[in-house]
Each structure stands twice: as C-alpha cells, then as structure tokens.
C-alpha cells in the first residue's frame, strides 16, 4: 500500500502526528504480508551462499532461478486465488494437460504452432470456468471440487495421451514445423558470461517477473484487486455492497488455469518433450509458496510478491540442499516445517490486524 500521505497538509494537526507516531513508514512496511518471506529468503540465501561454493556462482544460481521461476508463476496465481478465499488443486495437472494438448496437436495433427498454443489456452480457460462455476453453484469447498478436477485431469492426461500416441509422453517436437517460433517466445534464454561462469536466464524468469508485477498492480491498484480481497475476506459483506462475487471468483479460477497453461507452454518449448505426469504433485508446493509468502488459508489477506518470494525460497532450498551434499529428500521435511511456521506467523499477524489498536 502506498505510503504517501493522503491528507492535505492543512489537516495535519499535532494530535494526529502524535497518534501516528507508532505507525510510521517502518511500521507500515512491517505490516505488509510479504515481510516474513523476504526476511526468510534473505536468511536462506545468506546461509547457502556462505556454506557452499556453488550456490552464488552464475552457473549455480541459474539452476535455482529456473526452478523458482517455474514454480513462482503458479504460486503467484494460486496466491491471488487464495486471497480470494479459494484453493485450486488442479493447477499442477493443468500444466501437463495444456502441454500435452499443444504437443499432440502439433506432432500428431500437424497443427500450426500458434493455433495449437491458443487451443490449449482455450482448454485451460474452459477448465477454469468449470472449476469456478462448480464451486460457486454448488457451494462446495473449492478444495473438494478442484481435488476432483485434479484427478480427472491426471487420468485424462495419461489415458487420452496413450489412446492417441500409444505412449505416455510427447517427444521430438523440435522437428515439428514452427516449433522454433514458439521457442522464441516461451523457450529462449540469455546467457551472461560473468567472469568465465555462465548465468543462464530462461524466458520463464522474465514471465515470472512480469506475472508478479501485473498481479501486484491488479491486487493493489485496481477495482478487481479490491474485489479479490473483499470476496476472500467477507463474501457476504462484499455482495451486500455490490461486488460481483461470482464473476470475481470464476475469474480467479480462470487465472490459475491460464497460469498453468503458461507454465505448460514454457516447459514444452524449453524441453521439447512433455510427460503425461507433468505438474502432478506440484499443486501443494504452490499453496505452500503462497502461504510462506503471507497468504492466509482463510482468504482475504496476502500478496503476489510474497508468493514469488515463497517460490524463491523453494527454489533456493531445493538446490541449496544439493550443493550442500545432503539428501535432497530433506527438502520436503523443510517445506513442512516452513509451512507450519508460516501459518502460525500469518495467524498471529491476522489477529493483530483485527485487534483494536
């Protein structure tokens, strides 16, 4: 939130200044939801930078930046949805669904690359609308509804792929006409030579930064952002004052689906292959990143930057553990601890925010 002073200078009475003394800029920054994640990210970065050699080298950093970016796009979208008071467990499987759709259309049906990309976008939008309408019309928890969608997508991804191409992954896409055009947008990378070591930044990282920036702007500076906070914070109240609750929530489900599509395309055009099981198992990672970034599980509070930082923590720890030479399975134990810690901190922040000052 802006720290600019809203009140005209003339209204500044001495009394107001005195009462505001406790909530000046520093206090206001500390009240932001992403502060915890920022501090944690800094601590984790410092730890691995000091204790391992590879972590801060350009080539070493390339790895965790890539992981963070891929997960980050989804985490930001899932964070918006969580602020709006809902979950989407189908977000991970969507990644595979859209990648497979585009890959099969291009390789088996020789479809133009852009048409195939737009077709899978349409598929993602439809699935998002189905999720949203089911949740809003049935009144069931979105956790249950999207758990259903998740299993459906997981099954369809495998079964349909096997029916059409008799195997469980699409490969050899680099030979398809137009693949390089798609690669320009989704799969390209820049290599920076820093003192003999190569820092590779993939397109996905730029998309991640773009998605985070747009999401932050929408959340804090547009009417839709206001509505997202409102439908997550107090749905009945929001409806009473005229917020279009149904449209806002369905829009959020479509947003996570489309983010899944974006990540699906980014993965497809980076690796030239896509597995039927792509993205499965990732859905909870996104939620953990969002929660670590300050999102309340109950909705109405959180930030896009925080979710991006949560993804950064995930990427750094995942790779840092490898550089330390530890068993990489420790990552999951770490994530669990991180999640519990974050939930406790968030609830404390919430109770403070709601308490009369």
Partner 1 sequence: MSTQNEPVDNAADGDLGGAKGLSRTPSGHAPELPAVGETLIEVRDIGKSYGSVIALRDVTTSVRAGEVTCVLGDNGAGKSTFIKILAGAHEHSTGEFVVDGVSRHMSSPRAALALGIATVYQDLAVVPLMPVWRNFFLGSELTKGVPPLRRLDVGAMKATTKAELEAMGIDLRDVDQPIGTLSGGERQCVAIARAVYFGARVLILDEPTAALGVRQSGVVLKYIARARDRGLGVVFITHNPHHAYPVGDRFMLLRRGRSMGDFPKGEMTLDELVAMMAGGAELEALSHELARSMGEDSDVAKQMAAEVRHP
Residues that bind partner 1 (CB under 8 A): 1-2, 4, 6-8, 11, 16, 19-20, 23, 28, 217, 221-223, 225-227, 229-230, 233-234, 236-238, 240-243, 300-301, 350, 353-357
CB of 24 to partner 1, least distance (A): 10
CB of 329 to partner 1, least distance (A): 37
- Phi/psi at 201 (nearest 5 deg)? -115, 120
Query: In terms of CB distance, is 92 or 225 closer to partner 1?
Result: 225
Query: In terms of CB distance, is 13 or 327 closer to partner 1?
Result: 13
CB of 242 to partner 1, least distance (A): 3
CB of 336 to partner 1, least distance (A): 27
Query: In terms of CB distance, is 210 or 337 closer to partner 1?
Result: 210
Query: In terms of CB distance, is 209 or 234 closer to partner 1?
Result: 234
Query: In terms of CB distance, is 35 or 331 closer to partner 1?
Result: 35
CB of 9 to partner 1, least distance (A): 12
CB of 240 to partner 1, least distance (A): 4
Q: Are strands 189-194 and 197-202 parallel, antiparallel or unpaired?
A: antiparallel
Query: In terms of CB distance, is 137 or 221 closer to partner 1?
Result: 221
CA distances to 91, 130, 244, 260 from 247, rounded to whole Å, are 19, 13, 6, 20
Which residues partner with 199 through β-bridges? 192
Q: Are 254 and 132 in contact (CB under 8 A)?
A: yes
């Amino acid at each position: 939130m802006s720290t600019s002073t809203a009140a005209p200078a003339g209204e500044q009475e001495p009394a107001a200044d005195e009462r505001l003394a406790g909530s000046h800029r520093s206090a206001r920054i500390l009240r932001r939801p992403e502060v915890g994640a920022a501090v944690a990210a800094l601590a984790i970065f410092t730890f691995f930078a000091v204790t391992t050699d590879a972590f801060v080298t350009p080539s070493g950093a390339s790895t965790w930046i890539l992981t963070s970016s891929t997960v980050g796009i989804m985490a930001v979208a899932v964070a918006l949805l969580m602020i709006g008071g809902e979950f989407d467990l189908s977000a991970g499987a969507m990644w595979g669904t859209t990648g497979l759709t585009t890959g099969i259309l291009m390789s088996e049906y020789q479809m133009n690359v852009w048409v195939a990309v737009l077709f899978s976008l349409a598929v993602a939008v439809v699935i998002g609308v189905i999720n949203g309408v089911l949740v809003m019309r049935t009144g069931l928890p979105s956790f249950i509804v999207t758990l259903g969608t998740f299993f459906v997508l997981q099954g369809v991804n495998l079964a349909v792929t096997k029916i059409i191409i008799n195997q469980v992954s699409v490969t050899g896409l680099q030979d398809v006409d137009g693949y390089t055009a798609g690669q320009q947008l989704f799969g390209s990378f820049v290599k920076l030579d820093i003192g003999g070591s190569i820092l590779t930044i993939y397109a996905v990282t730029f998309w991640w930064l773009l998605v985070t920036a747009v999401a932050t702007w929408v959340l804090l500076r547009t009417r839709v952002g206001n509505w997202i906070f409102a439908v997550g914070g107090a749905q009945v109240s929001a409806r009473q004052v005229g917020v279009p609750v149904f449209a806002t929530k369905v829009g959020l489900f479509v947003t996570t689906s489309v983010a899944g599509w974006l990540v699906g395309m980014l993965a497809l055009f980076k690796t030239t292959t896509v597995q039927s099981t792509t993205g499965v198992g990732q859905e909870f990672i996104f939620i953990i990143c969002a929660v670590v970034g300050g999102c309340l599980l109950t909705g109405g509070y959180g930030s896009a930057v925080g979710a991006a930082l949560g993804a950064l923590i995930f990427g750094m720890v995942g790779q840092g553990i490898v550089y330390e030479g530890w068993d990489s399975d420790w990552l999951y134990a770490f994530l669990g601890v991180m999640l519990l810690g974050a939930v406790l901190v968030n609830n404390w922040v919430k109770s403070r925010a709601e308490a009369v000052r």
